[in-house]
Amino acid sequence: MKIKKNSFLSNFKSISFAIFIALIIRSFIAEPFNIPSGSMKPNLLVGDFIFVSKWSYGYSKHSLPFSLPLLPNKILSKIPDRGDVVVFKTPEDNRTDYIKRVIGLPGDKIKIINGNINLNGQNIARKKMKDFFDNDKNTSLKRIRKYKEFHDSISFDIIDIMDNGMADNTQLFEVPEGYFFVMGDNRDNSRDSRTSEVGFVPKENLIGKAERIFFSHNGYSSFYEFWKWHKSIRFSRIGKKIE
């Protein structure tokens, strides 16, 4: 009996230590997320699994599991760069995880005019690219206009489904200190800072920066259907840096 008891205690300690290390990594180093919607197409697809760096913008209670209120304020806080793809808790409920791109920094003035971004009085340049073919499992095959937008020293692709969409013309937004203006790359299919449901994102709600895709599948097969994996896994996306 003594041997069994010692074995049980040893296993319990090992498992507890492993869980503790996993929580430390998840809270302060990196956390995995999956992409459930198409708001960041064409750069992130439904079925992408990504790593998010937790150190990029500092730590708050939202860095911890279940947003445990152990950190009263943001510590080691850093400002995102314009164009960063960030994961955050929505200000609406402080529970739901969203992923969007930072477009406006504190002090910026932003207005969307006919689908184009006007930032601090200057129109953001964009260039027409080859169309994006959307073959998401939940939609029929669509051909969508794709553009490359140029922000400061970076550029990234966006898609524009329609003219005169609901958020293609907006009021003038002035980003308050300590807040950020975010948008989805799928401009006509994204709940973001253009809507009252999301609005400006406070720095305390930033969880981290989306860094890399570590797995991706198109959803056409279940986990147990291993004979279909070769058609479902998007091998070309695995390891891809998020830009």
Q: Read off the tokens for 242.
A: 């998020």
pLDDT at 3 exceeding the cut of 70: no
- Rounded to an integer, the average pLDDT of 146-168 is 91
Residue 19 has pLDDT above 90, yes or no: no
pLDDT digits (tens, 9 = 90+) for 48-76: 999 999 999 999 988 888 888 888 888 88
Assess whether pLDDT exceeds 70 at residue 1: no
Domains and CATH numbers, the chain: 31-237 (2.10.109.10)
Which residues are catalytically annotated?
A: 39, 100
- Please report the pLDDT score of residue 138 as a whole number: 63
pLDDT of residue 6: 66
φ, ψ for residue 104, nearest 5 deg? -120, 135
Please give the full DSSP string across 2-55, using - where no structure is assigned. Answer: HHHHHHHHHHHHHHHHHHHHHHHHHHHTEEEEE--SSTTTTTS-TTEEEEEESS
Asked whether 175 and 201 are in contact (CB, 8 A), the reply is no
| Gap between the Cα atoms of 97 and 62, Å rounded | 10
Q: Whole-angstrom Cα distance, residue 25 to residue 188? A: 36
Q: What is the mean pLDDT of the chain?
A: 90
Per-state percent for the chain, helix, strand, coil, to nearest 5: 20, 35, 45
